[in-house]
Amino acid sequence: MLFFRRKKPELLGIDISTVAVKLLELSKVGSHFRVESYGVAPLPPDTVVDKNITRVEVIGNIIKAVVKQSGTRLKHAAVAVPGSTVITKMISMPAALNEDELEAQIELEADQYIPYALDEVSLDFVVQGPTAKTPNMIDVLLVASRKENVEDRVTALELAGLKAEIVDVESYAIEHSCALILDQFPDREASRAIAVADVGATVTTLNIVHDRQIIYTREQSFGGKQLTEEIQKRYGLSYEEAGLAKKHGGLPDNYGPEILEPFKNAVAQQIGRSLQFFLSSSAHRNVEYIILAGGCASIPGIDDYIDKSLGIPIIIANPFADMLLSPRIQPQRLNNDAPALMTACGLALRSFD
């Protein structure tokens, strides 16, 4: 049972995405968090396919390299599995059960809720609180994922000399780091829905946060890889060269109007479509604002473009805005990478639960 359990007080947040490994170490100084170290290292193509790790040893070596790059001395880590690989179910259980009895009862009844043999899954649960209108019952969130999803990530960490103390779920990690951003805008939070649009390399995920909890998630196969591939095709570059050009510039004058602007429009359309799915299926009539996360959030001007297209205020995700920084951290570099570090940040925050 790996989900949610914190064993050690100091944990590295390790986010294994489809294109990169991201590492983050946080500490606490008084009431303030402090970024002690972080690192980002790209993954070779097809190392992670459809959220599944295909080359564990390669990822282990890259985690080892990014640990060295970051300068951290921590040896315990939290990692996450994608939400699309996880089954969650809210169940009600008798409130009188102690933790051992509750665990035994859930293991007895779990096969009612999990469409796999129990020996094929990693399973855990979190008590949410009393069941509404039934005071002698409690709501329990049951979480399960196929064992290979968990074990591949644990093995990759072990190959890098790290111990996985927590295997979390990406959406819960983002929820955790999102709280830091909400604290930056307390007057805007109110009780309305807030969208977190995470535009990554291959997947765009829209999470709706209400009362600081994710109430809706929608994934679409779309991301920055499509922009990289268009640059590659248009200018005859290798994939790696196209990625560097996208990040650092130096492309011909027609790049902006002919490639970048259409891509920004496609991002706005994807987010707008997901928002419409949410609004059409919920009691909410609108969202207060959109927190834009993921690597694509660093594209210059994309926030203004989406704001004008959708008519919803955009905030670029930066969970580190109110944090202290270690002398080894380069503020501008961290600021540029911040939108892509939401999951790593949420995982690193597990040290302080």
In contact, 235 and 222? CB cutoff 8 Å:
no
Token match 């093995």: residue?
Answer: 155
pLDDT at position 324 is 96
Sorting pLDDT into bands at 50, 70 and 90, what band is 254?
Answer: very high
The Cα–Cα gap between 234 and 152 comes to 37
The Cα–Cα gap between 75 and 59 comes to 17
pLDDT at position 240 is 86
Sorting pLDDT into bands at 50, 70 and 90, what band is 99?
Answer: confident
Q: What percent of the chain has pLDDT over 70?
A: 96
Sorting pLDDT into bands at 50, 70 and 90, what band is 1?
Answer: very low
Sorting pLDDT into bands at 50, 70 and 90, what band is 353?
Answer: confident
pLDDT at position 284 is 82
Most confident residue range from 81-95, 154-168, 244-258: 154-168
pLDDT at position 6 is 46
Residue ranges of domains in the chain: 85-147
In contact, 182 and 189? CB cutoff 8 Å:
yes
Residues forming beta bridges with residue 28, ordered by sequence position = 33
Residue 82, exposed/middle/buried by CB under 10 A (0-12, 13-18, 19+)? buried
pLDDT at position 3 is 53
Q: What is the pLDDT of residues 198-250, one digit of tens each?
A: 999 999 999 999 888 888 999 999 999 999 999 999 999 998 899 889 888 88
In contact, 159 and 53? CB cutoff 8 Å:
no
Within 10 angstroms of residue 322's Cβ, the number of other Cβ atoms is 12
pTM value?
0.90
Q: What is the pLDDT of residues 126-151, one digit of tens each?
A: 888 899 888 899 999 889 999 999 99
Sorting pLDDT into bands at 50, 70 and 90, what band is 190?
Answer: low
The identity of residue 153, as a single letter, is R
Class of domain 85-147: alpha beta
Is pLDDT of 178 > 60?
A: yes
Is pLDDT of 5 > 60?
A: no
Question: What average pLDDT is seen over the chain?
Answer: 91
Sorting pLDDT into bands at 50, 70 and 90, what band is 118?
Answer: confident
pLDDT at position 189 is 59
Cα-Cα end-to-end distance for the chain: 18
More confident residue, 117 or 203: 203
Cα dist from 235 to 51, 161, 326, whole Å? 29, 41, 40
pLDDT at position 137 is 93
Secondary structure E strands in the chain: 12-16, 20-29, 32-42, 48-49, 52-53, 76-81, 86-94, 121-131, 134-146, 163-169, 193-199, 204-210, 213-220, 287-293, 314-316, 324-325
Q: Residues 109, 113, 114, 115: is their CA dihedral positive or negative? A: positive
> Which residues, in sequence order, are CB contacts of 252 under 8 Å at separation 6+?
235
∠ at Cα 70 (69, 74), nearest 5°?
120
Q: What is the pLDDT of residues 79-92, one digit of tens each?
A: 999 988 898 888 88
Q: Are strands 287-293 and 193-199 parallel, antiparallel or unpaired?
A: parallel
> Which residues, in sequence order, are CB contacts of 234 under 8 Å at separation 6+?
258, 259
The Cα–Cα gap between 10 and 351 comes to 5
Sorting pLDDT into bands at 50, 70 and 90, what band is 261?
Answer: very high
pLDDT at position 319 is 96
Could you tell me which of 127, 89, 84 has the C-alpha nearest to residue 111? 89
